[in-house]
Amino acid sequence: MSGQRANEVLALSAEDVASFKFGINFRKNPNDGKCYLIYKEEAGLKACRNQCKHQGGVFITDMEDLNRQTVKCTKHNWKLNVSTMRYSNPPDSFSQEELEVELLDGGLRLLELVPQDPWLEEQRDPQPLEPGEATVTYLSHACMALSLGGVRVVFDPWLTGPAFARGWWLLHQPPHDAWDLLCSADFIYISHMHSDHLSYPTLKVLAERRPDIPIYVGDTSRPVFWYLQHSNVKLTNIKVVPFGIWQNVNQHLRFMILMDGVHPALDTCLLLDYKGHIIMNTVDCTRPNSGRLPLRPDLLMTDFAGGASGFPMTFCSGKYTEAWKEDFIRTERRKLLHYKVQLVKTLQPRVYCPFAGYFTEAHPSDTYIKNINIKNKAEDLNAEINKMAPNVTTWTPKPGATLDLALALDPQHSDAVRAPPPGTPVYKDRWDFQRYDQELRSAVGSQVFKHLAWVQQYYTWAGFRNYNLVVRVIETDEDFAPLADGWDYLVDFLDLTFPLSRPIREHNYLEIRNRVGVMRYVVLNGLLWDSLYIGFQNRISRDPDVYHHRFWDHFQVDLPLTPPDWEGFLRSLPDPPDDSHSCRVG
């Protein structure tokens, strides 16, 4: 549907090309300041942008690489092997998009093949908006209710219950009419399968009132609703749409779902076009649409907070002292803030709203995480944007507050936000921990865990192997102390064996202490390990101190779509149960 064009991004003279050294060469385009990496080898030249796939950081020479093949990102130390165009840190992870190298009379041109931006298809001129015609109401976390010419759209509804097992809880109290706004929506967009966006406790309530409500998701390789059937939530109208194609709602309203460049199997973002006005919600994408986004959208919404990962809060031993963590978290927070400011400066939206970061580690067991996992404040980000991009109107949303887009786009109006009624609470002050704790605890006494063979059954079902990593998994109490009657076992993922001690060969090693209730609930239901890792439900140490992308990606994104057959497992076992726990590591 869309054409492709080749953009010349850099041209170098024959003299410059002749000066290339073997290995990595750094070059900058003097016209736009953009930087490039050119790799010279006997076979010829390879080139790419000097731009890290993670969050756009700049690469410098990796002094540790004596072969001159690797560069290191100045932001978070990812490493790219330019000779293969593969990232070596994280290992076995991403590849870098290459540029076309065209040699001409000894000189060189670097060309980037760019597919046409899909939102330019049948582009529409903005039409005037009446006050009240296009409004955006903030409900909670990443959940907004939009009214566009009378059509109600809701994003990522999380209105009740925890996310990531019971690690995340709503910071804000959703407004009193949040359920009515949700249940009367014409359609819902769910950006991805993480439980702060795809909230089964919320969808359960919704399904009781509107089982056939249309819910749109992107066509990610891991289906967003992969767990729907097993969840017993009866939603009947899930619509999976292809990326980058306008979906027409009516003559004035259409939307398009776009992929994330770093996590295409998982994350998506959304463009809405109402009467030629573009509303963009990048949600949690690390590099939404690989960084190619419409300029000057009318409203841009992005995440801002950080702290949405177990790293480094749940890491222990080695360099992970409290002081190191504090320093790292502070630095990362600043970098994220800076990155969002740069994004806003580049895209120049008319209105900007940071959201999708309003969670808290409210559970009493997670006080440690709550105290150290300090997040960015939306007010601070907006203050920075007001300085750096004064033309952009910023909005720090409060639950129940409504932005009127027509007023926000009108320079004559200084206040386009209708505040919630006086007395509307902003923050939650109580959460129903007991109900969800009970559900997780229900897994602990399962018959499955009375048999040593569950370990082999589970990891065989998981299907991860041929990777030189040994993991020790220890079941613990709430304070991560090993349980006397809990399992403690090793998995050697090179050949998927379960040794009683670490192999003598050189290997990567991870030790993961998991809270028993959450771990067993995850195992029984075939859930992804994001409940454990992103939900702060474990403590991790590693030797060497390397992020094993393949392992975590498999257990957090790629586990089988149907849970293990535990009934069949129990039927296949001899009586009585083997509860000797003989795989305890000595």
Contact positions vs ligand FES (CB under 6 A): 52, 54-57, 73, 75-76, 78
Which residue, 298 or 332, has its beta carbon nearer to ligand FES? 332
Question: Closest approach of Cβ 306 to ligand FES, in Å?
Answer: 12
Query: What is the C-alpha separation between 313 and 74, in angstroms, rounded?
Result: 22
Determine if residue 244 is left, alpha or beta; phi over 0 gives left, psi from -120 to 50 gives alpha, anything else beta.
left
Could you tell me the smallest distance in angstroms from the CB atom of residue 70 to ligand FES? 13
CB within 8 Å of 6: residues ≥ 6 apart? 100, 111, 112, 113, 114
User: Which residue's CB is nearer to ligand FES, number 13 or number 331?
Assistant: 331
Pull the structure tokens for residue 104. Answer: 């001409």
**Exposed, middle or buried, 363 (CB in 10 Å: 0-12/13-18/19+)?**
buried
Residue nearer to ligand FES on the CB measure, 338 or 450: 338
DSSP character string of 125-146: PPPP--TTSEEEEEEETTEEEE
What's the closest the beta carbon of residue 64 comes to ligand FES, in angstroms?
Answer: 16
Provide the minimum distance between the beta carbon of 63 and ligand FES in the complex, in angstroms, as a whole number.
Answer: 17
Would you tell me how many other CB atoms lie within 10 Å of the CB of residue 150? 10
Pick 502 or 550: Cβ nearer ligand FES: 550
Q: Which is nearer to ligand FES, 85 or 183 (CB)?
A: 85
Dihedral angle computed from the Cα positions of residues 47, 52, 54 and 57, in that order, rounded to the nearest 10 degrees: -170
In angstroms, what CA-CA distances link 346 with 385, 389, 393? 12, 9, 15
- Name the one residue in this structure whose structure tokens are 């130390």: 77
CB 402 within 8 A of CB 145: no
Residue 266 per-residue DSSP state = T
Q: Any alpha helices (H) in 149-251, and if so which ranges?
A: 178-183, 200-209, 228-231
Minimal distance, residue 338 CB to ligand FES, in Å: 11
> Position 304: which residue type?
F
Six-digit token string for 18: 């002749």
Look at residues 415, 412, 407, 417 and name the one whose alpha carbon lies nearest to residue 129.
407
**Alpha helical stretches, state H, 225-270:** 228-231
By C-beta, is 161 or 307 nearer to ligand FES?
Answer: 307
Least Cβ distance, residue 539 to ligand FES (angstroms): 24
Q: Which strands sit side by side in the sheet containing 70-73, from one edge to the other?
A: 59-61, 70-73, 79-81, 86-89
For residues 92 and 578, which CB has a smaller minimum distance to ligand FES in the complex?
92
Nearer to ligand FES, 79 or 172 (CB): 79
| Closer Cβ to ligand FES, 75 or 548, answer by number | 75
Report in angstroms how near the CB of residue 442 gets to ligand FES at its nearest.
Answer: 40
Q: How far is the CB of 282 from ligand FES (least distance, A)?
A: 16
Q: Determine the distance from the C-alpha atom of residue 506 to the mean position of all C-alpha atoms in its chain, rounded to a whole number.
A: 32
Smallest separation (angstroms) from ligand FES to the CB of 61: 15
